[in-house]
């Protein structure tokens, strides 16, 4: 898969997507792409990178072979289900050096400024970062560790129960039973804040 194809899947080109593209290239060089559920990806953030990982590796939330740990880390682990062989890829790239003026404009962007001067600088900074990520040697970008891990269980299909408040279906293990009544999580939070 090309970077352009991941852009088409994701909707725009950005540094995060470029990282996911490069992570996937490294993972696929080590472990084969998933046709169904043979490959498991564990991602430790919910950034744009995860879209490239889904598109390139075949690991998806719907199949249950894309696992999300909300750690906020740029770390991605790929496990071969049949063997437990795994590769853990951690982003180590320090980024591009930045001048003081660009840093100030980036800070303004982070605080909500969307003026044309700020947006021009942000767009140029993102383009340069993306280009550098796509061109860098993998050793400059990542720390790659080979492991043997316990394979997570396959995705399970659970019965659905009806919430006694909203009447919407909720999978049994996520349902809350309060006073012998079934609640979905949002409805249970309204009665037990």
Assigned domain for 127 exists:
no
DSSP H helices in the chain: 3-10, 15-30, 49-57, 100-110, 116-135, 138-141, 185-191
Quote the domain boundaries for residue 19. 3-93+136-148
CATH number at residue 186: 3.30.60
**9 and 56 in one domain?**
yes
Assigned domain for 51 exists:
yes
**144 and 57 in one domain?**
yes
Provide the residue-wise pLDDT of the chain in tens; the chain has 193 residues. Answer: 999 999 999 999 999 999 999 999 999 998 876 667 889 999 999 999 999 999 999 999 888 899 999 999 999 999 998 888 999 999 999 998 888 888 888 888 889 999 998 899 889 999 999 999 999 999 999 999 999 988 877 777 889 999 999 999 999 999 999 999 999 999 999 887 6
Assigned domain for 143 exists:
yes
Return the pLDDT at 144.
97
> What is the C-alpha to C-alpha distance for residues 61 and 133, in angstroms, rounded to an integer?
26
Assigned domain for 62 exists:
yes
Return the pLDDT at 153.
76
Residues paired with 91 in a beta bridge: 142
Query: Judging by beta carbons within 10 Å of its beta carbon (0-12, 13-18, 19+), is residue 182 exposed, middle or buried?
Result: middle
**84 and 37 in one domain?**
yes
**37 and 9 in one domain?**
yes
Assigned domain for 84 exists:
yes
Return the pLDDT at 26.
97
Assigned domain for 113 exists:
no
Tokens representing 185 are 């999580």
Q: CA-based angle 49:50:51, to the nearest 5?
A: 90
**183 and 143 in one domain?**
no
> Sign of the C-alpha dihedral, residues 59, 62, 65, 68?
positive
Assigned domain for 114 exists:
no
**141 and 187 in one domain?**
no
CATH number at residue 38: 3.30.1330.20
Return the pLDDT at 105.
86
Structural domains counted in the chain:
2
Residues paired with 178 in a beta bridge: 181
Assigned domain for 111 exists:
no
Interstrand relation of 85-91 and 142-148 (parallel, antiparallel or unpaired): antiparallel
CB of 62 closer than 8 Å to CB of 34: no
């Amino acid at each position: 898969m090309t970077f352009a194809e991941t852009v088409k899947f994701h909707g725009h080109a950005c540094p995060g997507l470029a990282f996911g593209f490069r992570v996937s290239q490294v993972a696929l060089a080590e472990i084969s792409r998933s046709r169904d559920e043979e490959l498991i990806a564990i991602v430790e953030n919910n950034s744009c990178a995860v879209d490239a990982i889904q598109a390139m590796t075949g690991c998806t939330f719907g199949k249950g072979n894309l696992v999300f740990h909300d750690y906020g880390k740029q770390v991605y682990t790929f496990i071969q289900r049949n063997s437990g062989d795994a590769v853990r890829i951690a982003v180590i790239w320090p980024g591009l050096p930045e001048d003081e003026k660009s840093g100030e404009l980036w800070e303004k962007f982070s605080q909500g400024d969307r003026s044309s001067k700020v947006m021009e600088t942000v767009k140029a900074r993102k383009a340069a970062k993306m280009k550098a990520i796509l061109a860098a040697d993998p050793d400059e970008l990542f720390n790659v560790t080979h492991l043997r891990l316990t394979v997570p269980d396959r995705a399970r299909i659970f019965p659905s129960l009806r919430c006694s408040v909203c009447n919407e279906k909720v999978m049994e293990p996520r349902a809350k039973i309060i006073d012998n009544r079934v609640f979905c999580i949002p409805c249970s939070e309204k009665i037990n804040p």
